Amino acid sequence: MSKAIIYVVSDSVGETAEFVIKAALSQFMNENEYELYRIPYVENIEVLRGAVYHAKQLGAMIGFTLVNPEFRGFLKKEAAEKNIECVDIMGPMLEAMERKFNTHAKEEPGLIHKLDEDYFRRVEAIEFAVRYDDGRDPRGIEQADIVLIGVSRTSKTPLSQYLAHKKLKVANVPIVPEVEPPANLFKLPAHKCIGLKISPEKLNGIRKERLKSLGLDDKASYANMVRIKEEIEFFERIINQLNCPVIDVSNKAVEETANLILQMIHQSSWNV
């Protein structure tokens, strides 16, 4: 017995049509009993005409997903004239939704794949932010879209995560007087690095609250004003060497700082 042949026609990749066709075929036969011929990225009527011609020659049927109503109409009409079984997989759903929502479909092929790409870029950026958080791996500096630097408790980590949800790969590096920043930080273009500045008084209050939340004495050196000023002075020396933009986060919420960074990116047309 010869194999069943089905043409899978689409103005995008054709995965949706193929998935539905395979699901239906599984009710009738095994995979080795049929062949699928995929014709993706249809852009003109002539391709559809050719698909109908070959389907007729091979005694095949056609299953298709076409968002363009002109293409759908042509293929159904052409197939009917040649007495070819032809199934519109997406059209009835599009037409029903147009009636229900009282609006026209966008008629743009492959939109679902664009959504998928956005999703995976976002996930990749989030994983990147976790992997290269707090300077744990200096290699992330060169791979990042943006590198945030600042002393401890300047919201580097939450900012990295927030920006990751905007599909930006963000690494962050803590600035500590006892530890020289990674050498590759100084090789970055200045605009790829952003310093997070904070007033000593504000930082003192934040660190004291942090120590209390951990059940520790708020008089520890971590929250000592002399120590804080030493850290900020070291931070300012590093910033001067990098000559990078600086944002004062003393009285800003994470969202506000993130929006300022996004504005910098858009205004500067950074290649990120």
Residues at the binding site for ADP are: 150-157
- In terms of Cβ atoms closer than 10 Å to its own Cβ (0-12, 13-18, 19+), residue 241 is exposed
Question: Are the C-beta atoms of residues 156 and 134 closer than 8 Å to each other?
Answer: yes
Please tell me the distance from the alpha carbon of residue 118 to that of residue 121, in angstroms, as a whole number.
5
Please tell me the distance from the alpha carbon of residue 255 to that of residue 62, in angstroms, as a whole number.
51
**Residue count of the chain:** 272
Best CA proximity match to 60, nearest among 40, 36, 24: 36
- Rounded to whole angstroms, the maximal C-alpha distance in the chain is 88
Strand, coil or helix: 29: coil
Known binding-site residues equal 150-157
Question: Are the C-beta atoms of residues 91 and 20 closer than 8 Å to each other?
Answer: no
Strand, coil or helix: 150: strand
The amino acid that residue 57 corresponds to is Q
